Amino acid sequence: MTIKVAVNGALGNMGQTVIRAVFGDPELQLVAAIDIKGDGSDIGTHVGLGELNIPVENDLAAVLARSQPDVLVDFTTPFAVMQNIETALSLKVRPVVGTTGITETDLETIRRWSKQYNTGALIAPNFAIGAVLMMLFAARAAKYLPHVEIIELHHDQKIDAPSGTAMKTAEMILKSRGQVSKPDVEELEKLPGARGGNLENIHIHSVRLPGLVAHQEVIFGGIGQTLTIRHDSIDRTSFMPGVLLAIKEIMQHEDVIYGLENILNL
């Protein structure tokens, strides 16, 4: 069965990469492209594929109702993503979401919508297989080296901080390690924020610079030693195998899956 796919955020860097990946997969059919900047121009001309007879439109609900895709891939913004997810689920379209900024409270809301509309959704802070492995390795290491800090580095157009990957990593570490007492040191933070954000004694530092794509270091400290686990996405194509896998896998589910690790045989 060919899976019909719509892409929201189609004119963004990630959206354009998803368009090319979906178009190149024989099991998938690209049926719609949506973007807040949609002006009716053909998406194929934006991504180097020539005329595809698929206009970039800006009314998500109308496009989904007309094109009736099986899956909506959403790479938009934290300000719009929840409305996009509800719109898709209400129309029985399965969202595959890479937009970050989704909180635990948001996830509970998405689970409620999924149950209400009897339609599955997949939310992933990171679709790169290597990043998923990095998070899993960090969770394993935390059992033995519980003192840790996270440094995440992204391009300067990323809106939210910390990244969804950093937050997910910290949550997995906390679940794995349990409680760690705060060091008995009175810190003097001469510049507010210099020690980064603090999630239950895990400091998270966010870097935003042009030239970066998506990178993260998880640094563990122990007596006389450190351990650094790092992942680098140097091109957005690194996310595409995970996106394509998620599109196909969510067709088998009617619940909410949070994290790509839950559909990988790891």
- Residue positions annotated with a catalytic role: 154, 158
Helix (H, G, I), strand (E, B) or coil at 117: helix
| Euclidean distance between CA atoms 142 and 89, whole angstroms | 37
Alpha-helix runs per DSSP H in the chain: 13-23, 43-47, 60-67, 81-90, 104-117, 129-141, 164-177, 240-250
Contact criterion met (CB below 8 Å) for 43 and 20: no
d(CA 124, CA 122) in angstroms, rounded, equals: 7
For residue 151, report the phi and psi dihedrals to the nearest 5 degrees: -120, 120
CA distances 230 to 130, 131, 180, 198, 224, Å, are: 9, 8, 23, 20, 20
